[in-house]
Structure 1
Amino acid sequence: MIKLANPIFYPLSVLVGGVVLVVGVRFARVPNVVILPTAALVVTVGAAFLKSKEPNEKKLAKQELQKEVKMLYNAAKNLADKSINLRQEAKHLLTDDSLQIELLAIVEEACDRATELPQKIDQLSRRVQGDNSLLSPTELQQQLLEVQKKLGASSGVARQHFEQLANSLKRNIELAKAGEDTRQAQLVNIYTLIQETGGILQSLQNKLRTSDLSKFEEINELRTLSTELNSYQENMEILVVQ
Structure 2
Amino acid sequence: MKLANPLYYPISILAGAVVLVVGVRLAGLSNAVALPTAAIVATASATALKSREPDSQKLAKQQLQQELQVLQSSGKSLAQKAEILRQEANQLLTRGSFQLELLVAVQNACDRAIELSLKIDQLATKLQGSNSLLSKSELQQQLLEVQAKQKVSSGIARKQLNLLEESLKHNIAIAQEGQDTRMAQIASLYTLIQEAAGVLQQLQNKLHTADLSNLEQVKELRSLSAELSSFQENLEFLVR
Find the counterpart in structure 1 of residue 151 from structure 2: 152
C-alpha displacement of 1:58:
2.5
Number of aligned residue pairs: 240
Assess if the C-alpha contact under 8 Å between 2:75 and 2:193 holds in 1: yes
C-alpha displacement of 1:230:
0.5
Q: Which range is displaced more, 25-34 or 158-167?
A: 25-34
Find the counterpart in structure 2 of residue 178 from structure 1: 177
> Given residue 132 of structure 1, which amino acid in structure 2 is its aligned partner?
N
Find the counterpart in structure 2 of residue 191 from structure 1: 190
Alignment partners' CA distance in 1, 2:94 and 2:148:
34
C-alpha displacement of 1:134:
1.5
Note the 1:1-242 alignment, pairs <5 A: 2-241=1-240
CA deviations 1:45-104 (Å, max 9, x no partner) are: 222222232224323322222221111111112111111110100111111122221221
Aligned-residue identity in percent:
59
Alignment partners' CA distance in 2, 1:161 and 1:54:
43
Provide closer, same or farther for how the CA distance between residues 98 and 148 of structure 1 changes in structure 2, counting only shifts above 3 A: farther
Provide closer, same or farther for how the CA distance between residues 153 and 96 of structure 1 changes in structure 2, counting only shifts above 3 A: farther
Assess if the C-alpha contact under 8 Å between 1:83 and 1:111 holds in 2: yes
Assess if the C-alpha contact under 8 Å between 2:105 and 2:225 holds in 1: yes
SS state at 1:176 partner: helix
CA deviations 1:174-230 (Å, max 9, x no partner) are: 221231221111111100100100110011011111111122222221111101101
Provide closer, same or farther for how the CA distance between residues 58 and 114 of structure 1 changes in structure 2, counting only shifts above 3 A: same
Q: TM-score, normalised by structure 2?
A: 0.92
* Structure 2 alignment gaps of length 5 or more: none
Alignment partners' CA distance in 2, 1:202 and 1:150:
26
Alignment partners' CA distance in 2, 1:17 and 1:75:
53
Provide closer, same or farther for how the CA distance between residues 202 and 171 of structure 1 changes in structure 2, counting only shifts above 3 A: same
Alignment partners' CA distance in 2, 1:119 and 1:208:
26
- The CA RMSD over aligned residues, in Å, is 1.7
Runs of 4+ more than 6 Å apart: none
SS state at 2:172 partner: helix
Alignment partners' CA distance in 2, 1:94 and 1:148:
37
SS state at 2:239 partner: helix
Q: TM-score, normalised by structure 1?
A: 0.91
Assess if the C-alpha contact under 8 Å between 2:160 and 2:234 holds in 1: no
Alignment partners' CA distance in 1, 2:216 and 2:105:
17
